A and B are shown apart, each in its own frame.
Chain A
Amino acid sequence: MATTLFEWIEEGFAAAHPDKPALRSERGELGWGELLPGARAIASFLRDAGVGRGQRVGLWMDKTPRCVEALLGVLGAGAAYVPLDPRAPVARVAGIARDCGLSAVFTDAAHRAELPAFLAGADAPLLLVDDPELDGSAAAALAPGRRVALLDEALAFPPSDPARASPDDLAYVLYTSGSTGRPKGVAHTHASGLSFARWVKDRFQIRSDDVFSAHAPLHFDLSISDLFASLGAGASVRLLSPTEGMLAPYLVRMLDVWGITVWYSVPSALVAMLEQGGLEARPPERLRLLFFAGEVFPMAQLRRLRRALPHVTLVNLFGPTETNVCTYQVVPQTLPEPAAGSGSGSGTFVGFLPIGHGCENLETFVIDDAGAETDLPGAEGTLWARGGNIMQGYFGDPEKTAAVLMPDPRGRPGLACCTGDRVRILPDGAYEFRGRRDHMVKVKGHRVELGEIEAVLAEHPGVREAVAVALPDPAAGNRIVAAAVPRAGASPSPSELRAHLAARLPRYMLPAGLEVMSELPRTSTGKADRGRLREQWEGGGAHGDDRRAEPG
């Protein structure tokens, strides 16, 4: 039985037909019969170049089959891969490369022009370039003083047995935005990555005839399931480019053409497929399993999705990158409709799906505000997890690691991960998400969960999506500003939305400013970009008014 991610992929290879595509994208495909030999050759090349266990290798490439082949080659060498956001500014990418001390970097033609700036800020001694326009000497000229090889050269290297990494060896580092503005590297081992991939495969019976979509970029933790739950079962993966991922009508048209059976994305991508893509009129026939994660799914939109895809198992996967995923909720066939005039100020979320129970391969528990474990229905506290999928730590940052991976607060031996998520225990033992501890703000002395405002706003029939952020305010402590995106064909006014909120929330929770926007800014992972909204609103001065923003 596999104990490392590379062995896991070897198991998938044994289950798959060699002629079947393993990876497809708009830029080509790789069959199973090519993928594993190619990854083994790259692994041998890297080992020959002195890259091995514990070392980090950057992937600064578009998400193509060749990129995934390189990723597997890194794992085959016993090293850890570090996906570098191909759409991020080069200074940020170079900063991440510096932070984790890369031994090698894979890059491609798309980043050739930015390479000098990257290399000026990063110390990678070995560069592997996937660029059909270059020969060996032209490639070498890209980085004088460093070893440069074409990816084709590595692919032609005589394969040898893969390095046998240990389950506790570092396997990948995913950089997420840190609250201080400096990205932090969430470091996972083969054991934690494999535990998650195996849980997805077993719990949802992933088969070799499944076809996964890979909507998320590789630096986003959704990609772990996209790549490993799929390939470990011998299934195929259709890699989506960022442009494909943003073109909802095209995605809806292509789901059945590509034969997608398993989809995983942030809710906003699915909302776009409902709103702009006509998903309800054209439900994909082959889709059987749909995961969503990364942000709260507005209940009104989730009801639409549930009705549009009655034949599909919908699953809310929940957990910070530090846990891969730690809880899940299968969406029932019928979702409750909101009661007319139902309020939320009493502490009841009207607009959220529960985040469900802990994944079977790890342990979850709740610590209340007094520091005691509780499993009483109705009790509220912080969600903790241990075992299974949990990260090794933040790369190179023992202080931050110790603030999250702490001695088990129940006094049991070993460490547990404090997720920072507040939950309430439901009568059946499932968890209801009550927001991030860091999304909890004080307004005029009242504790306010921003997610609650978002949920109530998103329940308005004319609203597709809503976001609330807190801006510092000398008088009130914080001032809340919210944005709402209308549903297609709807045009709710700020005053109409304010009346909707006022009927459901206590006065102190009402946003000081409310903006109707045609679309929200997004992070590279597709989530609503709260930081950018905060900057826009702060930059726009103290605006406590309501406004409607027109596109363009």
Chain B
Amino acid sequence: METIAGRSQGDDEVERSLIDFVERNVVVDGGRVGREERLVESGRVDSIGLLQILGYVAEKFEVDLLVLGAPRDLLSVAALAAAVRRETAARSRPAAEGA
């Protein structure tokens, strides 16, 4: 179900899952992470943390953002969730078109 912000209910779950993972496993200061907060650019996530996040996205959502992603997809949790949705939709499109 799309909302006026262009996000779906599923996206909120993606964001919640990502925030939970990043807060538990990635940020070293133990603080909360906002959905629009910059991850790498702010210094809260380093190169190891970024690989951890990309590994989690690949495992949980079956989307390989290391290969498919652009830097803007990795800026924040909100951007990551949008990229997951985009790549998931792109993957399902050929099947839907062929149906």
Q: Which residues of A contact B (CB under 8 A)?
A: 26, 62, 85-89, 110, 241-244, 246-247, 249-250, 276, 518-522, 524, 526, 551-552
- B25:A552 contact, CB within 8 angstroms: yes
Known A-B contacts A26-B72, A247-B71; the reply to A242 vs B66 at CB < 8 A is no
Please name the 10 residue pairs, one residue from A and one from B, whose CB atoms are nearest each other, closest first: A87-B43, A243-B71, A243-B40, A244-B71, A519-B48, A522-B47, A246-B47, A552-B52, A249-B67, A242-B40
Whether the pair B43, A86 counts as a contact (CB closer than 8 A) is yes
Alpha-carbon separation in the docked complex, A26 to B40 (Å): 15
* A526 CA / B40 CA spacing, docked (Å): 13
Q: A87 — which chain B residues lie within 8 A by C-beta?
A: 40-43
| Residues in B16-57 with C-beta less than 8 Å from chain A | 25, 38-43, 46-48, 50-52, 55-56
* A260 → chain B closest CB, angstroms: 16
Give the residue among A87, A243, A526, A552 with the most B Cβ atoms within 10 A.
A243
Tell me, rounded to whole Å, the shortest Cβ–Cβ distance linking A358 to chain B. Answer: 33
Q: How far is the CB of A130 from chain B (nearest CB, A)?
A: 15
Number of A-B contacts (CB under 8 A): 63
A249 to B74, CA, bound (A): 14
* Chain A contacts for B46, CB-based, 8 A: 521-522
**Chain A residues whose CB sits within 8 angstroms of the CB of B25 once the complex forms:** 552
Rounded to whole Å, the gap between the CB of A69 and the closest CB of chain B is 19
- The answer, among A242, A276, A522, A552, for a CB contact under 8 Å with B41, is A242
Total B residues in contact with A, Cβ cutoff 8 Å: 23
Whether B5 is near chain A, meaning CB under 8 Å from some CB there, is no
6 interchain pairs, CB-CB under 8 A = A26-B72, A86-B41, A87-B41, A110-B41, A250-B69, A520-B48
Residue of B nearest to A517 (CB): B48
The docked-state distance in angstroms from the alpha carbon of A521 to that of B45 is 11
- A371 to B75 CA separation, bound complex (whole angstroms): 53
Question: A110 near B42 (CB under 8 angstroms)?
Answer: yes
- By a CB distance below 8 angstroms, the chain A residues around B70 are 247, 250
Contact B47 A519 (CB under 8 A): yes
Chain A residue contacts of B41, Cβ below 8 A: 62, 86-87, 110, 241-243
Known: A26-B71, A243-B74, A521-B46. A551 touches B38 (CB 8 A): no
| A247 in complex: contacting residue of B48, B52, B69, CB < 8 Å | B69
How far apart are the CA atoms of A490 and B38 in the complex, in Å? 33
Chain B residue contacts of A524, Cβ below 8 A: 43
- B66:A247 contact, CB within 8 angstroms: yes
A433 to B98, CA, bound (A): 61
Given contact pairs A247-B74, A249-B67, A552 touches B56 in the complex (Cβ within 8 A): yes
Contacts of A244 in B (CB 8 A): 71
Contact in complex: B71, A518 (CB < 8 Å): no
Residues of B within 8 A of A247 (CB): 66, 69-71, 74
Residues of A contacting B50 in the complex (Cβ-Cβ under 8 angstroms): 243, 246
Chain B residue with minimal CB distance to A248? B66
Could you tell me the distance between the alpha carbons of A89 and B44 in the complex, rounded to whole angstroms?
Answer: 9
How close is A379's CB to chain B, nearest CB, in angstroms? 39
A551 touches B66 (CB 8 A): no
Q: How far is the CA of A242 from the CA of B74 in the complex (A)?
A: 11
